[in-house]
A = this chain, B = another copy of it.
Amino acid sequence: MSETPDKPVPDDEEQRAQLASDLRDAIDLGEGDWIRDTLDDMHPADASDLLEHLSTERFEAAVELLDGELPSEILIELREEYREDAVEIMSDEAVVEALDDLETDDATAVLEDLDEDRRERILDELEPEDRAVLEASFEFEEDTAGRLMQREFLAAPEFWTIGQTIDFARDNAADLPTDFYEIYVVDPTNKPLGYVLLSQLLRTGRDVKLADIMGSFNSDIHVDQDQEEVAYQFQKYALASAPVKDHEGRLVGMITVDDMVHVIQEENTEDLLALANVSSADGSDTVWESVKARAPWLGINLITAFVASAIIALFEGTLDRLVQLAILMPVVAALAGNAGSQGLAVAVRAIAEREMEGKAGRRAVVRETLTGVVNGGIFAIGVALVALFWFQDVKLSIILGVAMFASFVWAGVSGILVPLTLKRMGADPAVASSVFVLTLTDVMAFFSFLGLATLFLL
């Protein structure tokens, strides 16, 4: 893509819409050559973006018009759903060719999309060396450093000089990864001793030994480590790349920051969706996928909602005599539920950013409880005044205020204790916690309001 500062492709929505419409026409008219040329002229990320704006049917038609030969650099940029579709249509030969072009981490991602039979068949077609490397990746669990890492990196012994290292890189240019940011210095058993940033290598004289300028690692990543832990280290130490070690501490791969950015986004999205009781979501989801991702949580909510109803049913006699209670009780539940969700969201974020360990967790419990007390006080007075103005009933208003206060404090406590407890139990604090917290606050809201009314108003 050429640079046109005044009309950059990614910024010009109109131009993008025109291109998308041209592409749709080309697909409908079967103009495979036009599609091929257009995609070739674009940055792979832009090309994949354009393709992802197509409906699934048109996207599949486009891949077929390209004779199932989607360029590997576009393939790897596609979102998982589209990539799976594309690989489905592509011939085994086309997939093998794409895998040849890709670095191990990307090739592994493509292979993950295939069912096992086809994966075996395609692995058989690869050069034995490439095959061994990719098969090794599959020995690691999904979402671990071993799966994410690439096997291509530049390592050098500590006695090499800068000059030797540069000469080596020039002589072996073809075997190096497309882009990398540091060189790993290793001992004779291939254990990493330190790293030299390329920017430092660049400014250092040819005669200096790597050992004299290498830095020691801050990161400590091994093949079995969860991607979330890896991403945390990247963030903490502001890394551009980091070495991955096997069980014996030998250097076996490298992870780069672009993959970690992806992981960070993924983890954030998971938290946000989990808090809203959605198990997964993607812009291209079908209705059926959406239903599957949401109905189970609604099912649980169905049960908890009837639990809250059962609390109300306990006070059927009271409600029968004082219909105002039915009008006001949702106010208590709504506000306390909101307060509980607020505390929960703050807690889930803080846990994700590791701000909740040790003393910090205890401090947060105190803060959330006190926040419940303060906001509870404010809004107890607020609702009591509105109710007084509305129903002209002092006793009813006081009871509403007291129930509100109790529910707010309870909401504050559950908003922090539920996620902290889930975390301590080894569960994801974002998953299931909002159902718990809302049920707890609903029960408290209805019980305290209707209970107090039964005691003091009848």
Contacts and interface: CB of A to CB of B under 8 A. Distances in A.
Contacts of A374: 287, 291
B218 A43 contact: yes
A323 interface: yes
A330 B442 contact: yes
A19 to B, nearest CB: 11
Given A199-B181, A359-B53, A291 B371 contact: yes
Given A375-B295, A383-B302, A45 B236 contact: yes
Interface residues of A, number: 140
Contact of A382 (B222, B260, B302): B302
Contacts of A367: 285-287, 290
A8 B217 CA distance: 11
Q: Which residue of A261, A326, A374 has the most chain B CB atoms within 10 A of its CB atom?
A: A326
Nearest to A55: B363
A357 B53 CA distance: 8
A299 to B, nearest CB: 8
Contacts of A301: 334-335, 338
A305 B334 contact: yes
A144 to B, nearest CB: 15
A290 B166 CA distance: 55
A176 interface: yes
Interface string A29-63: 00000000000000101100100110100000000
A333 interface: yes
Interface in A312-336: 312-313, 316, 319-320, 323, 325-331, 333-335
Contact of A342 (B264, B294, B371): B294
A327 B341 contact: no
Given A3-B216, A264-B264, A276-B341, 4 more contacts: A3-B217, A43-B237, A178-B199, A257-B261
Interface of A: 1-3, 5, 8, 10-11, 13, 16-17, 20, 43, 45-46, 49, 52-53, 55, 166, 169-170, 172-173, 176-181, 197-205, 216-218, 220, 222, 233-240, 245, 249, 256-258, 260-262, 264-265, 268-269, 271-273, 275-278, 281-287, 290-291, 294-295, 297-299, 301-302, 304-306, 308-309, 312-313, 316, 319-320, 323, 325-331, 333-335, 338-339, 341-342, 344-346, 348-350, 353, 355-360, 363-364, 367-368, 370-371, 374-375, 378-379, 382-383, 386, 438, 442, 446
